[in-house]
Structure 1
Protein backbone atom coordinates (compact mmCIF):
# COMPACT_ATOMS: atom_id res chain seq x y z
CA UNK A 1 0.00 0.00 0.00
CA UNK A 2 2.84 2.41 0.85
CA UNK A 3 4.42 1.72 -2.56
CA UNK A 4 1.15 2.51 -4.29
CA UNK A 5 0.78 5.78 -2.39
CA UNK A 6 4.38 6.73 -3.17
CA UNK A 7 3.88 6.02 -6.88
CA UNK A 8 0.63 8.00 -6.90
CA UNK A 9 2.35 10.92 -5.16
CA UNK A 10 5.11 10.94 -7.76
CA UNK A 11 2.58 10.78 -10.57
CA UNK A 12 0.59 13.62 -9.02
CA UNK A 13 3.70 15.77 -8.79
CA UNK A 14 4.54 15.05 -12.43
CA UNK A 15 1.08 15.87 -13.70
CA UNK A 16 0.69 19.19 -11.90
CA UNK A 17 1.99 22.62 -12.79
CA UNK A 18 5.50 21.30 -13.47
CA UNK A 19 4.36 19.58 -16.66
CA UNK A 20 2.09 22.46 -17.56
CA UNK A 21 5.04 24.83 -17.79
CA UNK A 22 6.03 25.59 -21.31
CA UNK A 23 9.40 26.52 -22.64
CA UNK A 24 9.37 30.26 -23.35
CA UNK A 25 9.08 31.14 -27.01
CA UNK A 26 12.37 32.00 -28.63
CA UNK A 27 12.73 35.73 -28.97
CA UNK A 28 15.16 37.49 -31.21
CA UNK A 29 16.86 40.34 -29.44
CA UNK A 30 17.52 43.59 -31.20
CA UNK A 31 21.12 43.80 -32.36
CA UNK A 32 23.11 47.04 -32.44
CA UNK A 33 20.02 49.21 -32.80
CA UNK A 34 18.35 46.92 -35.33
CA UNK A 35 14.71 46.31 -34.40
CA UNK A 36 13.95 42.76 -33.32
CA UNK A 37 10.88 42.77 -35.59
CA UNK A 38 13.08 43.29 -38.65
CA UNK A 39 15.35 40.42 -37.61
CA UNK A 40 12.35 38.14 -37.04
CA UNK A 41 10.91 38.97 -40.46
CA UNK A 42 14.32 38.43 -42.00
CA UNK A 43 14.67 35.06 -40.33
CA UNK A 44 11.27 34.01 -41.66
CA UNK A 45 12.22 35.02 -45.21
CA UNK A 46 15.61 33.28 -44.85
CA UNK A 47 13.88 30.10 -43.69
CA UNK A 48 11.47 30.17 -46.63
CA UNK A 49 13.79 31.15 -49.49
CA UNK A 50 17.46 30.79 -48.48
CA UNK A 51 17.87 27.97 -45.99
CA UNK A 52 17.76 25.13 -48.51
CA UNK A 53 20.91 26.31 -50.27
CA UNK A 54 22.75 28.26 -47.58
CA UNK A 55 21.78 25.89 -44.72
CA UNK A 56 20.38 26.57 -41.25
CA UNK A 57 23.77 27.67 -39.95
CA UNK A 58 24.58 29.85 -42.97
CA UNK A 59 27.47 27.53 -43.81
CA UNK A 60 26.46 26.88 -47.42
CA UNK A 61 27.51 23.76 -49.33
CA UNK A 62 31.14 23.34 -50.40
CA UNK A 63 31.61 23.98 -54.10
CA UNK A 64 27.92 24.70 -54.67
CA UNK A 65 26.43 27.41 -52.43
CA UNK A 66 28.67 29.89 -50.63
CA UNK A 67 28.59 30.37 -46.89
CA UNK A 68 27.05 33.50 -45.45
CA UNK A 69 29.37 33.45 -42.46
CA UNK A 70 31.93 36.23 -42.32
CA UNK A 71 32.35 36.61 -46.08
CA UNK A 72 33.23 39.77 -47.96
CA UNK A 73 29.96 39.56 -49.87
CA UNK A 74 27.86 39.59 -46.71
CA UNK A 75 29.89 41.99 -44.58
CA UNK A 76 31.19 44.23 -47.33
CA UNK A 77 29.53 46.62 -49.75
CA UNK A 78 25.74 46.61 -49.26
CA UNK A 79 25.09 47.56 -52.89
CA UNK A 80 26.92 44.47 -54.13
CA UNK A 81 24.99 42.28 -51.68
CA UNK A 82 21.64 43.80 -52.66
CA UNK A 83 22.53 43.20 -56.33
CA UNK A 84 22.91 39.49 -55.57
CA UNK A 85 19.26 39.32 -54.52
CA UNK A 86 18.03 41.60 -57.28
CA UNK A 87 20.00 40.05 -60.16
CA UNK A 88 21.14 36.64 -58.92
CA UNK A 89 24.74 35.46 -59.12
CA UNK A 90 26.73 32.93 -61.08
CA UNK A 91 30.38 32.06 -61.66
CA UNK A 92 31.91 34.24 -58.94
CA UNK A 93 34.48 33.19 -56.36
CA UNK A 94 33.57 34.15 -52.81
CA UNK A 95 36.57 34.66 -50.51
CA UNK A 96 38.75 32.97 -53.16
CA UNK A 97 36.59 29.83 -53.26
CA UNK A 98 34.64 28.79 -56.37
CA UNK A 99 30.92 28.04 -56.03
CA UNK A 100 29.19 26.49 -59.02
CA UNK A 101 25.49 26.66 -58.24
CA UNK A 102 23.44 29.47 -59.75
CA UNK A 103 21.91 31.90 -57.29
CA UNK A 104 18.59 32.86 -58.87
CA UNK A 105 17.28 36.39 -58.65
CA UNK A 106 14.98 36.97 -55.71
CA UNK A 107 13.48 40.09 -57.28
CA UNK A 108 9.97 38.94 -56.41
CA UNK A 109 10.71 39.99 -52.81
CA UNK A 110 9.64 43.50 -51.86
CA UNK A 111 12.24 46.12 -50.98
CA UNK A 112 11.38 45.69 -47.30
CA UNK A 113 11.62 41.89 -47.47
CA UNK A 114 15.05 42.13 -49.10
CA UNK A 115 16.17 44.64 -46.48
CA UNK A 116 14.94 42.40 -43.65
CA UNK A 117 16.55 39.21 -44.92
CA UNK A 118 19.85 40.92 -45.71
CA UNK A 119 19.87 42.59 -42.31
CA UNK A 120 19.19 39.19 -40.74
CA UNK A 121 22.07 37.56 -42.65
CA UNK A 122 24.42 40.45 -41.86
CA UNK A 123 23.66 40.00 -38.13
CA UNK A 124 23.56 36.23 -37.70
CA UNK A 125 25.87 33.28 -38.28
CA UNK A 126 28.62 35.13 -36.41
CA UNK A 127 28.19 38.26 -38.54
CA UNK A 128 27.85 41.78 -37.18
CA UNK A 129 27.17 44.52 -39.70
CA UNK A 130 24.89 47.48 -40.26
CA UNK A 131 21.30 47.05 -41.33
CA UNK A 132 20.14 47.21 -44.93
CA UNK A 133 17.22 49.57 -45.47
CA UNK A 134 14.33 49.36 -47.90
CA UNK A 135 15.48 52.71 -49.31
CA UNK A 136 18.90 51.21 -50.12
CA UNK A 137 17.25 48.27 -51.88
CA UNK A 138 14.98 50.63 -53.82
CA UNK A 139 17.98 52.72 -54.91
CA UNK A 140 19.77 49.61 -56.23
CA UNK A 141 16.67 48.47 -58.12
CA UNK A 142 16.26 51.94 -59.63
CA UNK A 143 19.92 52.07 -60.68
CA UNK A 144 19.60 48.65 -62.33
CA UNK A 145 16.68 49.84 -64.46
CA UNK A 146 18.74 52.60 -66.09
Structure 2
Protein backbone atom coordinates (compact mmCIF):
# COMPACT_ATOMS: atom_id res chain seq x y z
CA UNK A 1 0.00 0.00 0.00
CA UNK A 2 1.51 3.31 -1.05
CA UNK A 3 1.45 6.38 1.18
CA UNK A 4 -0.32 9.46 -0.05
CA UNK A 5 1.40 12.85 -0.14
CA UNK A 6 -0.53 14.01 2.92
CA UNK A 7 0.51 10.88 4.90
CA UNK A 8 4.16 11.44 3.98
CA UNK A 9 3.85 15.08 5.08
CA UNK A 10 2.25 13.99 8.36
CA UNK A 11 5.05 11.49 9.08
CA UNK A 12 7.66 14.09 8.15
CA UNK A 13 6.08 16.67 10.47
CA UNK A 14 5.81 14.20 13.35
CA UNK A 15 9.47 13.18 12.92
CA UNK A 16 10.74 16.77 12.84
CA UNK A 17 8.60 17.71 15.86
CA UNK A 18 9.98 14.75 17.84
CA UNK A 19 13.58 15.70 17.00
CA UNK A 20 12.94 19.31 18.03
CA UNK A 21 11.36 18.18 21.30
CA UNK A 22 14.32 15.93 22.13
CA UNK A 23 16.74 18.78 21.30
CA UNK A 24 14.84 21.23 23.54
CA UNK A 25 14.85 18.75 26.43
CA UNK A 26 18.61 18.26 25.98
CA UNK A 27 19.19 22.04 25.99
CA UNK A 28 17.02 22.47 29.09
CA UNK A 29 18.91 19.75 30.99
CA UNK A 30 22.37 20.99 29.99
CA UNK A 31 21.61 24.68 30.60
CA UNK A 32 22.72 26.29 33.87
CA UNK A 33 25.79 26.28 36.08
CA UNK A 34 28.07 23.25 36.23
CA UNK A 35 30.78 23.11 38.86
CA UNK A 36 33.95 21.07 38.61
CA UNK A 37 36.29 20.64 41.57
CA UNK A 38 40.01 19.89 41.67
CA UNK A 39 41.74 18.91 44.93
CA UNK A 40 45.52 19.17 45.31
CA UNK A 41 46.87 17.90 48.65
CA UNK A 42 50.39 18.38 50.07
CA UNK A 43 50.63 21.99 48.90
CA UNK A 44 53.09 24.49 50.40
CA UNK A 45 52.60 28.28 50.36
CA UNK A 46 55.54 30.58 49.60
CA UNK A 47 55.50 34.34 50.09
CA UNK A 48 52.77 34.44 52.76
CA UNK A 49 54.37 34.24 56.24
CA UNK A 50 51.05 33.41 57.92
CA UNK A 51 50.69 30.26 55.77
CA UNK A 52 54.31 29.18 55.30
CA UNK A 53 55.54 26.03 57.01
CA UNK A 54 52.14 24.35 56.88
CA UNK A 55 50.72 21.75 54.51
CA UNK A 56 47.51 22.65 52.68
CA UNK A 57 44.89 21.11 50.44
CA UNK A 58 44.18 23.43 47.51
CA UNK A 59 40.59 23.49 46.24
CA UNK A 60 39.86 24.87 42.77
CA UNK A 61 36.23 25.19 41.74
CA UNK A 62 35.35 26.11 38.15
CA UNK A 63 31.99 27.00 36.63
CA UNK A 64 31.92 25.32 33.22
CA UNK A 65 28.21 25.91 32.73
CA UNK A 66 26.20 28.62 31.04
CA UNK A 67 24.90 30.55 34.08
CA UNK A 68 26.45 32.01 37.24
CA UNK A 69 26.10 30.41 40.65
CA UNK A 70 27.05 31.36 44.20
CA UNK A 71 29.60 29.27 46.07
CA UNK A 72 28.30 29.32 49.65
CA UNK A 73 30.68 27.17 51.69
CA UNK A 74 33.41 24.53 51.76
CA UNK A 75 33.83 21.66 54.20
CA UNK A 76 34.66 18.00 54.73
CA UNK A 77 32.79 14.86 55.73
CA UNK A 78 34.54 11.73 56.98
CA UNK A 79 32.97 8.29 56.67
CA UNK A 80 34.48 5.29 58.48
CA UNK A 81 33.19 2.90 55.81
CA UNK A 82 31.69 2.80 52.34
CA UNK A 83 28.36 1.75 53.88
CA UNK A 84 28.30 4.92 56.01
CA UNK A 85 29.04 6.94 52.88
CA UNK A 86 26.16 5.30 50.99
CA UNK A 87 23.81 6.03 53.88
CA UNK A 88 25.06 9.63 54.13
CA UNK A 89 26.03 9.25 57.79
CA UNK A 90 29.42 10.92 58.36
CA UNK A 91 31.24 10.24 61.62
CA UNK A 92 32.98 13.65 61.46
CA UNK A 93 32.17 16.85 59.59
CA UNK A 94 33.81 20.27 59.45
CA UNK A 95 33.15 23.62 57.78
CA UNK A 96 35.97 25.91 56.66
CA UNK A 97 34.52 29.43 56.89
CA UNK A 98 37.39 31.32 55.29
CA UNK A 99 39.47 29.23 52.85
CA UNK A 100 40.53 32.32 50.83
CA UNK A 101 41.16 35.72 52.46
CA UNK A 102 41.05 37.60 49.14
CA UNK A 103 37.94 35.88 47.73
CA UNK A 104 35.65 35.29 50.75
CA UNK A 105 32.55 33.12 50.67
CA UNK A 106 29.79 33.44 49.61
CA UNK A 107 31.16 34.24 46.15
CA UNK A 108 29.43 34.49 42.76
CA UNK A 109 31.21 32.39 40.14
CA UNK A 110 30.43 33.45 36.59
CA UNK A 111 30.61 30.98 33.66
CA UNK A 112 34.28 30.38 32.91
CA UNK A 113 35.47 31.68 36.32
CA UNK A 114 37.46 29.82 38.97
CA UNK A 115 37.70 30.13 42.74
CA UNK A 116 40.64 28.76 44.70
CA UNK A 117 40.91 28.21 48.43
CA UNK A 118 43.15 26.45 50.94
CA UNK A 119 42.19 24.18 53.81
CA UNK A 120 44.75 22.97 56.34
CA UNK A 121 45.87 19.38 55.87
CA UNK A 122 46.98 19.14 59.50
CA UNK A 123 45.64 20.97 62.57
CA UNK A 124 47.64 19.89 65.61
CA UNK A 125 45.70 22.20 67.95
CA UNK A 126 42.40 20.58 66.91
CA UNK A 127 43.80 17.05 66.51
CA UNK A 128 42.71 17.08 62.86
CA UNK A 129 44.71 15.24 60.22
CA UNK A 130 43.12 15.04 56.79
CA UNK A 131 45.91 12.74 55.65
CA UNK A 132 45.15 10.26 58.44
CA UNK A 133 41.42 10.46 57.74
CA UNK A 134 41.96 9.93 53.99
CA UNK A 135 43.93 6.77 54.72
CA UNK A 136 41.50 5.36 57.30
CA UNK A 137 38.18 5.88 55.52
CA UNK A 138 36.34 7.99 52.98
CA UNK A 139 37.15 11.69 53.23
CA UNK A 140 34.90 13.87 51.09
CA UNK A 141 35.40 17.57 50.39
CA UNK A 142 32.17 19.40 49.61
CA UNK A 143 31.25 22.80 48.21
CA UNK A 144 27.71 24.13 48.62
CA UNK A 145 26.19 26.17 45.81
CA UNK A 146 23.10 28.29 45.31
CA UNK A 147 21.68 26.53 42.25
CA UNK A 148 21.35 23.07 43.81
CA UNK A 149 20.33 21.56 47.13
CA UNK A 150 23.08 18.95 46.71
CA UNK A 151 26.65 20.00 47.33
CA UNK A 152 29.42 19.23 44.87
CA UNK A 153 31.45 16.41 46.48
CA UNK A 154 34.82 14.90 45.67
CA UNK A 155 36.80 12.29 47.53
CA UNK A 156 40.17 13.51 48.81
CA UNK A 157 42.95 11.03 48.13
CA UNK A 158 46.35 11.68 49.70
CA UNK A 159 49.13 9.37 48.54
CA UNK A 160 51.11 7.53 51.18
CA UNK A 161 54.78 8.32 51.50
CA UNK A 162 56.71 11.54 51.25
CA UNK A 163 57.34 13.92 54.11
CA UNK A 164 53.73 13.98 55.29
CA UNK A 165 53.38 10.32 56.21
CA UNK A 166 51.68 9.99 59.63
**TM-score, with normalisation over the residues of structure 1?**
0.29
Name the structure with the higher strand share: 2
Q: Which has the higher helix share?
A: 1
TM-score between the two structures when normalised by the length of structure 2:
0.27
